[in-house]
Structure 1
Amino acid sequence: MKILKVNATAITTEGAPQMLENHRSEWTAEDKKKTNLDNIAKDILYKTLDKNIFAKIKTCSTSKEIWEKLTQLCEGNDQTKENKLTVAIQKFYNANMKLGESLAEFDEQFSAIIIEMTSLGKECFKCKI
């Protein structure tokens, strides 16, 4: 993890201060605490991942990078989310109760479609009470 400090002698072209890496010997107690929390977060993430996913995130150096990579892997980009939503909407319109299927089984299938659509940002029903 890199702890940054402001370089008082230089300013970037955008007017923002230039940042330099703060060496470990110059870390404050707060910097050490942040690093420790990052290590704890990485440890928790590592312990919850299977070998396949771990192989995809092992090059990340901070817990924030790991989380962003996991989000990208699991949720995908905007195009992927849009494709998943299109498929879920098609499932919704094509949902039919199959011969021999109980109402409870159909309800479970239909509820799963609604949950999937809702998780992708599609509001399915508005309740007015």
Structure 2
Amino acid sequence: MDTSLANAALRQPIVDGTNYSLWKVKIRYYIKSIDEQAWQRVINGWTPPKRVDEDGDSLIKSESDWTTDEVQVSNYNSKALNVIFFSVDMSMFSLIMNCTSAKDAWEILQKHCEGSESVRRTKLRMLASKFENLRKEETETITDYDRRLREIEN
């Protein structure tokens, strides 16, 4: 394969707040292409391993005390978080820069760009209405009509 084509295929998309819906689809598969377990950290989250001290209190383990499995799960989270950090512009990065969990960063970006659940329901109702009122224009080609349909679908 041509290396320029390979590099273009592996270039991660950048979100600036205006292209979130496209970015979300692309970045999901970008993370999955790196490691499926990294994507699982976005879905399921990650917290630092803990231990219980002699008083029964739960404390975060020192990294030097982590098991091999704990290090591996942390590594998956770090891979996903790294991809997310480097795929947002500076204004979006300021929203997530203190996140230690890929899931937390993902959810902050989603809420910021898509809004709350009620906002998403309103947007969905608007799209449903747009779909119901969609008609092919006399001068419109099938390709153009199909493009408009797919924009609503996406």
Query: Aligning the two structures, in what range does the TM-score lie when normalised by the shorter sequence?
Result: 0.5 to 0.7
Instruction: Mark the structure with the bigger radius of gyration.
Output: 1
Aligned counterpart for 2:110 among listed residues 64, 71, 79? 71
Q: Take 1:52 and 1:100, find their aligned partners in 2: how far apart are those partners?
A: 42
- Indicate how the Cα distance of structure 1 residues 90 and 60 shifts in structure 2: closer, same or farther if over 3 A, else same: same
Assess, with a 3 A threshold, how the Cα gap between structure 1 residues 71 and 7 changes in structure 2: closer, same or farther.
farther
Of all paired residues, the percent bearing the same amino acid is 24
2:154 pairs with 1:112: no
**Equivalent position SS for 2:71:** helix
* Distance in 2 separating the partners of 1:54 and 1:100: 44
Over 3 Å counting, the alpha-carbon distance change for 1:111 and 1:40 in structure 2 is closer
Q: Which runs of 4+ in 1 moved over 6 A?
A: none
Q: What residue ranges of structure 2 are gaps of 5+ in the alignment?
A: 1-46
**Are 2:91 and 1:52 equivalent residues in the alignment?**
yes
| Residue 51 of structure 2: aligned partner | 5
Long gaps (5+) in structure 1: 11-17, 117-129
Select the structure that is richer in strand.
1
Once the two structures are TM-superposed, the CA of residue 107 in structure 1 deviates from its matched residue by 2.5
- Offset, 1:76: 3.1
1:28 maps to 2:74: no
2:49 aligned partner, one-letter code: I
Mapped to 2, the partners of 1:52 and 1:92 lie a distance apart of: 33
Structure number with the higher helix fraction is 2
**Please, what TM-score do these two structures have when normalized by structure 2?**
0.56
One-letter amino acid matched to 1:44: V
CA distance in 2, matches of 1:71, 1:9: 39
User: Offset of 1:7 from its aligned partner?
Assistant: 4.8
Displacement of 1:5 in angstroms is: 2.0
C-alpha separation in 1, matches of 2:117 and 2:62: 38
TM-score normalised to structure 1 length: 0.65
User: What is the alpha-carbon distance in structure 2 between the residues aligned to residue 38 and residue 32 of structure 1?
Assistant: 10
Quote the residue 2:43 is aligned against: none
